[in-house]
């Protein structure tokens, strides 16, 4: 094992961001596997980009891992069956108030693997992108950007650095943490495979400093004998939200800024989260595509929180039934953590690839919004150096000329401004409104 210099401090500390309560009750609990649900509704759009084209019909027999939706263009992703059984229908299903084209499959309860699955040979960069595409891999940290796009080599952009995102800075969620501990070998091999195949100079494995067990595992990865020149380093980041946001983590790991409308590749970096790396390596070695997710189910209304391996397309209702012991006064279900999670008003909505947590909260007193007192806290804590109070004032007056001067598209909707505002102003919603006003203006 190498010496302690394999651990680095951040190159740059982010301005702003907030200190949130840790609340990681599931961190040391082993993940449990949910039995096959009776029905799965698998959406054809679980990613940024074009929805997949369904390639099965009602009555078809499918297995775990059978292709059921083909990527429709460069920015799209393949979709696979998460259960074995029979396709019941292909068509629109209403979820959370919106229509979504789904393949609905009745499970036979056997979870039989597709016999045609086989390991995928990866020798060069093009193979890695092809593997990500065949796996149906999308960014598993929440954004859902197809991984094949970021792994496709661009001769004009020489990538130098793999930033491994293990920050997982939202309260409650521990799914990457458990991936690191339970699938250590997949993460280890995946990191060295990506480094070798893409010809990257260095790897920065980034994790918040409060994740002790995962740090030990990741330190072993950074100390592997395949890295005699010590180009793979562990970086302990301060416990600060939103440390895991892509632009923030690139800045912390390399000191390079990713401007508005730019991607990490513009800063010669590729960012992959820990579960994405583990999933890609498992696909390459077994041929099993992305068909299930580890979901942290936690929150004030959950008395026995868990990490659960859930077949994609399982309804939230069925997952919560499996977890059990949900307080009857639960009033809010968030797909994601309390900071960036999306409120669900429909328990028939399903677990998708990009989900990593479900937070169920007890009824809380409604927040009383009062006028802005111009304290400046929202500006002080914004990691992107924005002026949320000014954006809100302009958005409420539909003053697009002022909005244009305030760089609103740099906002990553992290919610730090709303969290610190003593007047409880709905600042994130105002940022979204301002972005929509800009979009409308530019049409």
Residue 324 interacts with ligand SF4 (CB under 6 A): yes or no: no
In angstroms, the Cα distances linking 86 to 92, 347, 438 are: 18, 23, 46
Cis peptide before 242 (omega within 30 of 0): yes
Could you tell me the strand order of the sheet in which 67-70 lies?
Answer: 53-54, 67-70, 79-80
- Tell me which residue of 158, 206, 265 sits closest to 256, measured CA to CA: 265
Choice between 311 and 383, CB closer to ligand SF4:
383
Residue 345, helix vs strand vs coil: coil
Q: How far is the CB of 386 from ligand SF4 (least distance, A)?
A: 4
Contact 207, 303 (CB under 8 A): no
Cβ neighbour number for residue 304 with a 10 Å cutoff:
13
Q: How far is the CB of 390 from ligand SF4 (least distance, A)?
A: 9
Residue 416, helix vs strand vs coil: helix
Q: How far is the CB of 175 from ligand SF4 (least distance, A)?
A: 23
Contact 242, 383 (CB under 8 A): yes
Q: How far is the CB of 15 from ligand SF4 (least distance, A)?
A: 11
* Selected binder of ligand SF4 within 197, 414, 433, 434 (CB under 6 A): 414
Site for ligand SF4 in 225-284 (CB under 6 A): none
How far is the C-alpha of 299 from the C-alpha of 23, rounded, in Å? 9
Choice between 323 and 334, CB closer to ligand SF4:
334
How far is the C-alpha of 432 from the C-alpha of 388, rounded, in Å? 11
Residue 423 interacts with ligand SF4 (CB under 6 A): yes or no: yes
Q: How far is the CB of 437 from ligand SF4 (least distance, A)?
A: 15
Residue 25 interacts with ligand SF4 (CB under 6 A): yes or no: no
Contact segment (CB under 6 A) with ligand SF4 among 4-12, 86-94, 133-141, 419-427 equals 419-427
* Selected binder of ligand SF4 within 93, 406, 412, 434 (CB under 6 A): 412
Choice between 287 and 415, CB closer to ligand SF4:
415
Residue 95 interacts with ligand SF4 (CB under 6 A): yes or no: no
Residue 161 interacts with ligand SF4 (CB under 6 A): yes or no: no
Q: How far is the CB of 19 from ligand SF4 (least distance, A)?
A: 14
Contact segment (CB under 6 A) with ligand SF4 among 253-261, 305-313, 337-345, 411-419 equals 411-419
Residue 222, helix vs strand vs coil: helix
Contact segment (CB under 6 A) with ligand SF4 among 47-55, 140-148, 310-318, 423-431 equals 423-431
Residue 39 interacts with ligand SF4 (CB under 6 A): yes or no: no
Site for ligand SF4 in 362-401 (CB under 6 A): 372-378, 382-384, 386, 388-389
Residue 176, helix vs strand vs coil: helix
Q: How far is the CB of 141 from ligand SF4 (least distance, A)?
A: 16
Contact segment (CB under 6 A) with ligand SF4 among 70-78, 252-260, 267-275, 409-417 equals 409-417
How far is the C-alpha of 133 from the C-alpha of 117, rounded, in Å? 15
Site string for ligand SF4, 325-354 (x = CB under 6 A): ------------------------------
Q: How far is the CB of 383 from ligand SF4 (least distance, A)?
A: 6
Choice between 349 and 428, CB closer to ligand SF4:
428
Torsion, Cα 408 409 412 414, to 10 degrees, reads 20
Contact 249, 26 (CB under 8 A): no
How far is the C-alpha of 278 from the C-alpha of 275, rounded, in Å? 5
Contact 214, 182 (CB under 8 A): no
* Selected binder of ligand SF4 within 214, 291, 316, 431 (CB under 6 A): 431
Characterize 267-287 residue by residue with b for buried, 16 or more Cβ atoms within 10 angstroms of its Cβ, and e for exposed.
Answer: bbbbbbbbbbbbbbbbbbbeb
Q: How far is the CB of 225 from ligand SF4 (least distance, A)?
A: 41
* Selected binder of ligand SF4 within 411, 433, 434, 437 (CB under 6 A): 411
- In terms of Cβ atoms closer than 10 Å to its own Cβ (0-12, 13-18, 19+), residue 83 is buried
Give the binding site for ligand SF4 (CB under 6 A).
372-378, 382-384, 386, 388-389, 411-417, 421-423, 425, 427-428, 431
């Amino acid at each position: 094992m190498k010496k302690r210099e394999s651990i680095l401090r951040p190159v740059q500390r982010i301005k702003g961001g907030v200190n949130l309560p840790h609340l990681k009750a599931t961190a040391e609990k082993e993940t449990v596997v949910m039995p096959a649900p009776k029905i799965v509704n698998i959406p054809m759009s679980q990613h940024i980009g074009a929805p997949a084209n369904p390639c099965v019909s009602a009555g078809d027999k499918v297995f775990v891992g059978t292709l059921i939706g083909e990527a429709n263009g460069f920015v799209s992703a393949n979709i696979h069956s998460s259960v074995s059984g029979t396709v019941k229908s292909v068509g629109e299903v209403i979820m959370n108030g919106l229509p979504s084209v789904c393949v609905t499959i009745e499970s036979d309860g056997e979870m039989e693997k597709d016999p045609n699955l086989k390991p995928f040979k990866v020798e060069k960069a093009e193979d890695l992108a092809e593997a990500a595409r065949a796996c149906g891999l999308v960014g598993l940290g929440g954004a859902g950007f197809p991984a094949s796009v970021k792994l496709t080599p661009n001769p004009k952009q020489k990538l130098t650095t793999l930033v491994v995102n293990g920050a997982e800075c939202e309260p409650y969620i521990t799914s990457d943490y458990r991936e690191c501990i339970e699938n250590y070998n997949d993460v280890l091999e995946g990191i060295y495979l990506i480094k070798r195949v893409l010809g990257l100079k260095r790897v920065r494995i980034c994790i918040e400093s409060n994740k002790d067990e995962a740090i030990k595992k990741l330190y072993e990865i950074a100390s592997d004998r395949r890295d005699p020149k010590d180009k793979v380093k562990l970086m302990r980041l301060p416990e600060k939200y939103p440390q895991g946001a892509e632009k923030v983590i690139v800045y912390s790991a390399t000191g390079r800024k990713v401007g508005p409308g730019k991607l990490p590749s513009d800063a010669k970096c590729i960012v992959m989260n820990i579960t994405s790396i583990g999933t890609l390596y498992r696909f390459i070695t077994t041929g099993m595509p992305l068909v299930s997710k580890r979901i942290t189910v936690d929150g004030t209304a959950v008395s026995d929180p868990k990490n659960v391996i859930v077949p994609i397309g399982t309804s939230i209702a069925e997952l919560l039934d499996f977890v059990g012991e949900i307080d009857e006064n639960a009033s809010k279900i968030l797909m994601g953590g309390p900071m960036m999670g999306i409120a669900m008003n429909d328990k028939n909505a399903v677990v998708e690839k990009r989900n990593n947590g479900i937070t169920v909260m007890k009824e809380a007193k409604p927040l009383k919004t009062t006028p802005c007192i111009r304290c400046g806290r929202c500006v002080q804590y914004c990691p992107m150096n924005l002026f949320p109070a000014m954006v809100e004032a302009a958005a409420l007056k539909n003053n697009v000329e002022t909005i244009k001067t305030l760089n609103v598209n740099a906002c990553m909707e992290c919610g730090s401004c709303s969290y610190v505002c003593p007047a409880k102003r709905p600042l994130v919603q105002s940022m979204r409104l301002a972005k929509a006003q800009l979009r409308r203006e530019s049409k």
